[in-house]
Amino acid sequence: MNERGLIPDDDFWSSLRCRFTAAGLLKDNPIQFILIGGGEQKLESFYSSLKNMDLKNVQHKIWVPFDTLPELICHADICLGGPFGNTGQGKRVITTKTFQSLAMAKATIIGEIDYDYGFRDKENCLIVKQGDPEELASKISWCYENQDKLKLIGENGYKLYINHFSIDHIKNIIQNKVLK
């Protein structure tokens, strides 16, 4: 941790800081967060932040076997795909966890990116401005209050994944370019 007790500024920690702050804003609600990953990062600041912010609504798993990830996603009400950190890189990428969640037909909250890949808020995903934990918390609250809409959003997200991001779709694009 740096001298002010903040998580360092890089893509991983910036996105995590946004999630922490949103979790803190929602800590009096019946909403639980399960965060997975960070095994290669220094986690002392992570655990210190959890303690300092009194975030009892956050669980952390350093690692889960890849073959158990679909089951965890299946049991989630929504998935946080990110990125949320408002960094240069974060505005140019779609995270693997976003693809995994869309492929599982789960309503997925993503950070707004600079390119239009077909993501539509409250249609095939849920979009928030990056670096804005209040907006992230508000979107999570919206999901809690509108659980009846999440299945359709997840189904539409799955269609977006199949039609734009799946291995078969990418394979067809490459084959068409190579065979031309």
Q: What are the tens digits of pLDDT across the range 2-25?
A: 333 333 334 567 788 888 899 999
16 domain-assigned? yes
Number of domains in the chain: 1
* pLDDT tens digits for range 66-124: 899 899 999 999 999 989 988 888 889 999 999 999 999 999 999 999 999 999 999 99
pTM (predicted TM-score): 0.87
Say what percent of the chain tops pLDDT 90: 61
Bridge partner list, 178: none
- Tell me the CATH number at 151: 3.40.50.2000
6 domain-assigned? no
> Which stretches does DSSP call E strand in 62-168?
79-82, 108-111, 126-128
Alpha carbons 98 and 85: distance in angstroms, whole number: 15
Q: What are phi and psi of 123, to 5 degrees?
A: -115, -55
Is 133:25 a contact under the CB 8 Å cutoff? yes
